[in-house]
Amino acid sequence: MNYCIGVDLGGTNIAVGLVDRDSKSIVQTKSCKTNAPRACESVSADIAELCHAVCRAQKIELSDVDWIGVGTPGIVKGETVISAHNLGWRDVPFGKILSSLTSRPVHIANDANAAAFAEAVWGVGRNYSSLIAITLGTGVGGGVVINGKIWDGFNGFAAEIGHMVIFEGGRECGCGNRGCLEAYCSATALVRETKRMMNLYPDSAMWRFCGGDINRVNGKTAFLGKAADDYAARVVLDSFIDHLSVGISNLINVFQPSVICIGGGLSREGDNLLVPLCDRVSRISFGLKQGRTKVVCAQFKNDAGIIGASLLGLQQKERANMRKSEIVVSNFNFEGEVEKIEPHGNGHINRTNLVTARVNGGERRYVLQRINKTVFRDPEALMKNYAKVTAFLHRSIVENGGDPNRETLNLVKTIDDKDYYIDDEGEYWRMVDYVVDSVSYDKVESPEQFYDSAVAFGNFQYLLRDYPAEELIETIPNFHNTPDRYEQFLRAVAEDKCSRLSEVKDEVEFVKAHREFAETLERAHKEGRLPLRVTHNDTKLNNILFDKDSGKPICIIDLDTIMPGYSVNDFGDSIRFGATTALEDETDLSKVNFDIEFYELYLKGFIEGANGGLTKSEIELLPIGALMMTFECGMRFLTDYLNGDVYFKIHREKHNLDRARNQFKLLSDMEKRLDEMKALVEKYV
């Protein structure tokens, strides 16, 4: 779990939330009154107590929390609140005080900036590089986030969007100036104008929507009136939207942000507000038809303060990561001068950066990865396998007349001529050439793509057909040793740690009925019918790079799990997840069926890709590989269920049991069609 705490410090209330960055949600909240004005030490002590309270509720320690972020009213610079009128603070070292009380790193920001940060990182701006948030409330607040960083000016005063003058010499604003956006477009201003027009138009339909009582007018009243085609309401809203569109257009013309999002109670009006607003904005702001700032409503309502504050640590963490990467990069012997280093792809397991270097006028790119030691316990063994196999692939591709710079990954050596670099914290890093003009896909988008991936993994077997696989290190021992997995299953049954055995009797019998089957591949290996090969062990689609133009597979990546194994295992695993009509956790078993057409497609591609590199008896065992991987996987889910869900991450009760049943249904289906599966092998040999 990756926990952090977000604190929404307001003039009235203090709300503290424990945030889980994996599930992107607030998992616990506690709050108390602010009782402002009050000394920072005293407020900080209350915040610290609430931080402990949310951790207790989640049964964790405060020390398990990576950092605490606080959104506070007022002007903030670094760790200091320069001034916050409604708290009564001036030049208070708030960050230091709270950090010393909690022993956690503390990050603080202005509350409107924090709310904008929530939208930029997890909300409507998550897929874009820049966002400006505008909150229409009692006043008009805002925040500017550019490339993942809050822009608060050199002195902390920036993004006071509400006090942008849109009408010189206009209405008086709370700040003492005239004509500020806030004086026209806050919810308060809208209510004031609504009341003024109602007094001028005693026949206005708006009177009906507040029961004839002007004190009950709120931000919705004018919208309700406009929907009823009321003249006075239309005048109020037209003027409101005119002014707001001027403010937004000014922001667009200065910043051209990817997204402007509107928050606060009025954003609940949705299209009633957005449609006329966007229409007006598009007419008076700069931009191209195909590339215009999107104006949308905020995603987070009341949670924006806590979530945004909780994410403040990300800014600093990212920066620390980048500094680290710069040092690491300087230890590799690559060509060119570093121009930039940026996070790359969605490397869920290894942290990945893209390094761009200048080389006499042109540029070269490299991929820098830190190996996740929690997942890969023996990074040294992993890198030995990696280096040997990629070097072999390089030679093999050259012999076949291919392009070794595109068809395999190529390691960049360190300045000490090593295959990887170990930093001062004992972390392992590797650098490979970036494969230019390539793309990858997360999901199979067409049957052709599934076929192409089969060709790619078949070809992987072909290129490595002469590799002495027994020389590779088993980084995860007995990974696909099904009889060994069967023994683990029997142990789980015997121990029945969680007293779940009685409810899975049928499933246990199903597995036990396959005791002899479990031996099939190991026996074939012992009898010399199934050679040891280099296996990839993670044959999903996004581990293949495709050529950007031709759409054809060029290179197999993610070689962290290469080990000695059987080709039929790589094949079988692909069939297990690719030739089924349902997802792995589908609970309606009537939807889980073996898709023999996808099987045939993959079989054809795999055999073609292998191009004679596999033996006859090995190819004959491909269907058994499909059955075996499905069996083994289902058995592992069941074993984990009996052991109390300790290995596979679950998202609901009995998730592992559901997955096991799903795999067993798929296996039964395959077993019924085994003769057809075998016949198809004959067809393509």
Contacting positions for Zn ion (CB under 5 A): 163, 173, 175, 177, 180
CB of 177 or CB of 282, closer to Zn ion: 177
Nearest distance in Å: CB 178, Zn ion: 8
Nearest distance in Å: CB 245, Zn ion: 19
Nearest distance in Å: CB 98, Zn ion: 30
CB of 177 or CB of 372, closer to Zn ion: 177
CB of 175 or CB of 227, closer to Zn ion: 175
CB of 146 or CB of 165, closer to Zn ion: 165
* Chain centre distance of CA 580: 26
CB of 175 or CB of 583, closer to Zn ion: 175
In 3D space, the residue among 161, 88, 122 whose CA is nearest the CA of residue 4 turns out to be 122
DSSP for 183-221? HHHSHHHHHHHHHHHHHH-TT-THHHHTTT-GGG--TTH
Nearest distance in Å: CB 165, Zn ion: 8
Question: What is the C-alpha separation between 245 and 112, in angstroms, rounded?
Answer: 20
Nearest distance in Å: CB 174, Zn ion: 6
CB of 247 or CB of 625, closer to Zn ion: 247
Q: Where are the beta strands (DSSP E) in 344-384?
A: 351-359, 362-370
Q: Say what the alpha-carbon torsion angle 543, 548, 553, 555 is, to the nearest 10 degrees.
A: -60
Place of tokens 């010499």: 169
State the Cα angle at 284 between 280 and 288, rounded to 5°: 100
CB 98 within 8 A of CB 45: no
ω into 37 cis (within 30 of 0): yes
Element (H, E) at 390: helix 379-399
CB of 162 or CB of 379, closer to Zn ion: 162
Question: What is the C-alpha separation between 666 and 590, in angstroms, rounded?
Answer: 10
In 3D space, the residue among 204, 244, 48 whose CA is nearest the CA of residue 252 turns out to be 244
Nearest distance in Å: CB 247, Zn ion: 12
In 3D space, the residue among 114, 103, 107, 15 whose CA is nearest the CA of residue 73 turns out to be 114
Token representation of residue 170 = 């206009």
CB of 177 or CB of 250, closer to Zn ion: 177
Nearest distance in Å: CB 8, Zn ion: 24
Question: What is the C-alpha separation between 182 and 269, in angstroms, rounded?
Answer: 19
Backbone angles phi, psi at 10, to 5 degrees: -120, 175
Half-sphere exposure of 476 (CA within 13 A, CB side): 15
Place of tokens 């990629």: 390
Q: Which residues pair with 422 in a beta bridge?
A: 428
In 3D space, the residue among 113, 115, 110 whose CA is nearest the CA of residue 86 turns out to be 110
CB of 53 or CB of 140, closer to Zn ion: 140
Report which DSSP code applies to 332: B
CB of 45 or CB of 165, closer to Zn ion: 165
CB of 190 or CB of 622, closer to Zn ion: 190
Nearest distance in Å: CB 193, Zn ion: 17
Q: Which residues pair with 138 in a beta bridge?
A: none
Nearest distance in Å: CB 135, Zn ion: 15
CB 21 within 8 A of CB 40: no
Nearest distance in Å: CB 189, Zn ion: 11
Beta-carbon contacts of 117 under 8 Å, excluding residues fewer than 6 positions away, are 109, 143, 145, 150, 308, 311, 312
Nearest distance in Å: CB 34, Zn ion: 24
Nearest distance in Å: CB 182, Zn ion: 5
Nearest distance in Å: CB 172, Zn ion: 9
State the Cα angle at 336 between 334 and 338, rounded to 5°: 90
DSSP for 6-39? EEEE-SSEEEEEEEETTTTEEEEEEEEE--SS--
Nearest distance in Å: CB 139, Zn ion: 8
Token representation of residue 619 = 């190819």
CB 273 within 8 A of CB 267: yes
CB of 152 or CB of 407, closer to Zn ion: 152
CB 46 within 8 A of CB 33: no
Half-sphere exposure of 103 (CA within 13 A, CB side): 5
Q: Which residues pair with 180 in a beta bridge?
A: 165
Nearest distance in Å: CB 73, Zn ion: 16
Nearest distance in Å: CB 438, Zn ion: 52
* Secondary structure class of 411 (helix, strand, coil): strand
CB of 186 or CB of 537, closer to Zn ion: 186
State the Cα angle at 164 between 161 and 168, rounded to 5°: 165
In 3D space, the residue among 302, 309, 262, 261 whose CA is nearest the CA of residue 72 turns out to be 309
Beta-carbon contacts of 575 under 8 Å, excluding residues fewer than 6 positions away, are 598, 599, 602, 625, 626, 629, 630
CB of 167 or CB of 434, closer to Zn ion: 167
CB of 104 or CB of 163, closer to Zn ion: 163
CB of 175 or CB of 327, closer to Zn ion: 175
Nearest distance in Å: CB 274, Zn ion: 25
CB of 171 or CB of 365, closer to Zn ion: 171
